[in-house]
Amino acid sequence: MTGIVIVGASGRMGRALVEAVIETEGATLVGATVRPESTLSGTDAGELVGKGRMNARVVNSLDAFADRQPVVIDFTTIEATLQHLAWCVSNAVPCVIGTTGFSAQQEAVIQAASEAIPVVYAPNFSVGVNVVFDLLDRAARVFGDSVDIEVLEAHHRHKVDAPSGTALAMGRVVADALDRDLEKVAVYGREGQTGARPREQIGFVTVRAGDVVGEHTVLFAADGERVEITHKASSRRTFANGAVRAAIWASQQNAGLYSMRDVLGL
Tell me: do 139 and 220 sit in the same domain: yes
- The 10s digit of each residue's pLDDT in 174-210 is 999 999 999 999 999 999 999 999 999 999 999 999 9
Q: What is the mean pLDDT of the chain?
A: 96
Q: Is 184 a catalytic residue?
A: no
- Selecting among 156, 158, 159, 232, the annotated active-site residue is 159
Tell me: do 256 and 198 sit in the same domain: no
Tell me: do 141 and 219 sit in the same domain: yes
Q: Is 231 a catalytic residue?
A: no
Q: pTM for this structure?
A: 0.86
Tell me: do 167 and 193 sit in the same domain: yes
Helix (H, G, I), strand (E, B) or coil at 262: helix
Q: What is the pLDDT of residue 59?
A: 96
Tell me: do 227 and 240 sit in the same domain: no
Tell me: do 99 and 150 sit in the same domain: no
- The 10s digit of each residue's pLDDT in 124-161 is 999 999 999 999 999 999 999 999 999 999 999 999 99
Q: How far apart are CA 74 and CA 97, in angstroms?
A: 5
Please state which of the ranges 26-35, 45-54, 244-253 shows the lowest mean pLDDT: 45-54
Tell me: do 117 and 242 sit in the same domain: yes
Tell me: do 247 and 204 sit in the same domain: no
Cα angle 2, 55, 240; round to 5 = 50
Domain that holds residue 21: 2-121+236-264
Domains of the chain: total: 2
3 φ/ψ angles, rounded to the nearest 5 degrees: -80, 135
- Selecting among 155, 216, 231, 232, the annotated active-site residue is 155
Answer whether the bond into residue 198 is a cis peptide, omega within 30°. no
Q: What is the pLDDT of residue 52?
A: 87
pLDDT at 83 over 90: yes
Q: How far apart are CA 266 and CA 54, in angstroms?
A: 35
pLDDT at 266 over 90: no
pLDDT over 90 for what percent of the chain?
92
